[in-house]
A and B are shown apart, each in its own frame.
Chain A
C-alpha cells in the first residue's frame, strides 16, 4: 500500500484515539487564549448592561446537562451580570422538563461563589423565581405573547420561608402585567425553542436576545441580522467572549455602537469558556490536520495513478 493510500485510509479508531488524547491533555494545562469578541456577543453584553437596576427580565432556560458544555457557560455569564447589576429574573422552560431544576442548581453554584466572597445571595422568590416547565413550546410561547398573567397563572414558587405561593405575589412578578413589562426576554436554548419563541413573541413589545449552542447559531443569525434579536451569543466562542467582556467590559474601538461599557475586573469571571476554549483550539487543529492529511493522500495516490 503506497503512502498516499495509507494517508487516505487511516482506520477510524486511530483518529478517535488521537481525538480523545487531544481533547483531554490540554484540560490540565492553563493556556491563555487571545481573542476579540464578535459583534452579536458585544450587542448582547451591551444590552444586558443597560438594563436598569431592579427591573425584571424573562428567561427561557431550555438547556440541560447534555449541552452543559456550552449552555451552562451562557447561563452563568448571564446570571453573573444579573446578580451584579441587581436585576430580577423570572425563569421558565419549554425545552425540557429538567431545565428548571438544572437552572436552579446552576444558580445554587453561583450563590456558593458569592457566599465565598461574602456577597449577599441572589435570593429565590425575592430576586428570581422559576415558574417551571411548559410541555408544549409553541403553546407556551403563544400564551406568553397573549397574556403572561394567564400563561404563568396558578404557578407557584417557594419563599425563603419554604412556603409555596403564587408567583405573581413575588417581588419579581408583582408589577408584570404583560410580556412587554419585562425589560428583556432572554432565551438560552439548545433546541428549536429559539425559533418558536421568536415566531410568537416578536413584535409583542419586549426585546429579545438569545444564547444558543453552536448548532443553533446559523439558524439564529438571520434573526439577529434582521434586527429581531438585540443580542446573540453563539456556542463556546460566545461564552468566552462574554467572560472576556465580564472581565474588561466593552473597550473603545471594539464597537462603534456601544462605545465604552464597564466590566467587573477581578470578579470571579472565569467559567466554562475560559476552561474549555484552549482545548477547543487543539481539537479544531486536529480536525484541520485530518482534512489536510486526507487530501495530501489523495493527491499522492492520484499522482501515482497518472
Chain B
C-alpha cells in the first residue's frame, strides 16, 4: 500500500476517532473535527452547485452544447435566463421593504411540489390499496395450512409435468383457512391503524375505542419490527468502520499484513 493511501486512511481514522469522542462528551477535538466537517461540506455544496446542478440543468440548456465528435450539438434556449432573476428574488428576504419578493421563487417551488403530490398520489397508493384487498374467507377446506406444491420426479413425462403445474397453480390460487386468517389480521390492522388516525370523530363507544386502542397496539408491533430490522444496518455500519480502522488501516496499512 503506497504512502498516499496510508496517509489518506490515517486522516480518515483521525477524523473518525474525533467524531467518536463526542460519545464521551463534547470536547475541543470534536469541535475541531465538527467545524472541519461543516466547512468541507458547505465548500463541497458550493462546488456541486455548479458542477452537478446549475451547469447541466441550467447553463448548458441556456447556451447549448457545441457539436463534437459525431454529436450534432444542442442549441441553447435563451428563456432559461429568466430563472436567474427569479431565483435572485429570494435574496430580498433580508430587505425590510421588499422581503415579500423572496416568496416568489419559494412560491414556485411549493407550487411545483404541490402539483406533483396530486400527480403521484395514486401511483403511490393505488397499487397498495389494490394489494390490501385480500380475500378473508377460505375458498377451500381440504387443508387448514397451505400444502407444499408437488415436485415433479426427475425425467417426468410431459403430462406428469402438466399435472404438477396444474396442481401448483391450484394450490397457489386457493385461499386456505390460515391464509384467510392472516389476510383478516392484515385487513384489520390496516383499518384499525387508519381509524387511530381519525381526528375529527369523538372516540365513543366500545367498538370505536377498542378499534383505536388495538390500532395503537398494532402500530407498536409494526414499530418494534421496524426497530428490529433497522438495528441490523446501524450495527453493520459500525462494524464497517471498525473494519476500516483495524483491518484496512492498521492491519493492511500500517502493519502491511
Whether A67 lies near B229 (C-beta < 8 A) is: no
Minimum C-beta distance from A150 to chain B (A)? 12
Q: Is A252 an interface residue (CB 8 A)?
A: yes
Q: How far is the CA of A259 from the CA of B57 in the complex (A)?
A: 48
Q: A202-B123, A218-B226 are known contacts. Are A280 and B232 too (CB-CB below 8 A)?
A: yes
Question: Are B246 and A28 touching (Cβ within 8 A)?
Answer: yes
A31–B48 alpha-carbon span in the complex (Å): 43
- Chain A: interface residue total (CB-CB under 8 A): 56
Partner of B230, one of A154, A169, A215, A284: A215
The 8 Å CB contact of B229, one of A68, A136, A217, is A217
Q: Inside 8 A of B53's CB, which chain A residues have their CB? A: 135
Interface bits A217-233 vs B (CB < 8 Å: 1, else 0): 11000100111100000
Look across to chain A and name the residue whose beta carbon is closest to the beta carbon of B56.
A135
Chain A residue contacts of B106, Cβ below 8 A? none
Which residues on the B side are within 8 Å of A68 (C-beta)?
A: 240
Docked CA distance A19–B123 (Å): 43
Chain B residues closer than 8 Å to A276, beta-carbon distance = 236, 239-240, 243
B127-A154 in contact (CB<8A): no
A213 shortest CB reach to chain B, Å? 5
| A214 proximal to B (CB < 8 A) | yes
- Bound-state CA distance A284–B247 (Å) is 21
Interface contact A19-B128, CB-CB below 8 Å: no
Check B242 for interface membership: any CB of A closer than 8 A. Answer: yes
The residue that B246 contacts in the complex, of A19, A27, A154, with Cβ under 8 A, is A27
Q: Whose C-beta in chain A lies nearest to the C-beta of B234? A: A214
Interface flags, A163-186, vs B, CB<8A=1, else 0: 111100100000000000000000
Q: Are A200 and B128 in contact, with the CB atoms below 8 A?
A: no
User: What is the bound-complex CA distance between A252 and B153, given in angstroms?
Assistant: 12
Asked whether B229 lies within 8 Å of A235 as measured between CB atoms, the reply is: yes
The residue in chain A whose Cβ has the minimal distance to the Cβ of B227 is A218
Q: How far is the CB of B143 from chain A (nearest CB, A)?
A: 15
Residue B237 CB within 8 A of the other chain: yes
Which chain A residue shows the least CB distance to B171?
Answer: A256
- A residues less than 8 Å from B123 (CB atoms): 199-200, 202-203
- A275 smallest CB distance to B (angstroms): 7
Q: Is the CB of A67 within 8 A of B237?
A: yes
Surface stretch bound by A, among B28-36, B65-73, B92-100, B191-199: B65-73
Cβ A163 vs Cβ B246 within 8 A: no
For A27, the chain B residues whose CB sits under 8 A away are: 239, 242-243, 246-247
Instruction: Say yes or no: is A234 at the interface (Cβ < 8 Å to chain B).
Output: yes
On B, residues with C-beta under 8 Å from A are 23-24, 48, 51-53, 56-57, 65, 69-71, 74, 116, 120, 123-124, 127-128, 130-131, 148-149, 151, 168, 225-226, 229-240, 242-243, 245-247
24 contacts between A and B (CB under 8 A): A16-B23, A23-B239, A24-B245, A69-B237, A154-B71, A165-B69, A202-B127, A214-B231, A214-B232, A214-B233, A214-B234, A218-B225, A226-B127, A227-B131, A235-B229, A236-B233, A256-B149, A276-B236, A276-B239, A276-B240, A279-B239, A283-B235, A284-B235, A287-B231
The 3 closest A-B pairs by CB, nearest first: A214-B233, A69-B240, A226-B131
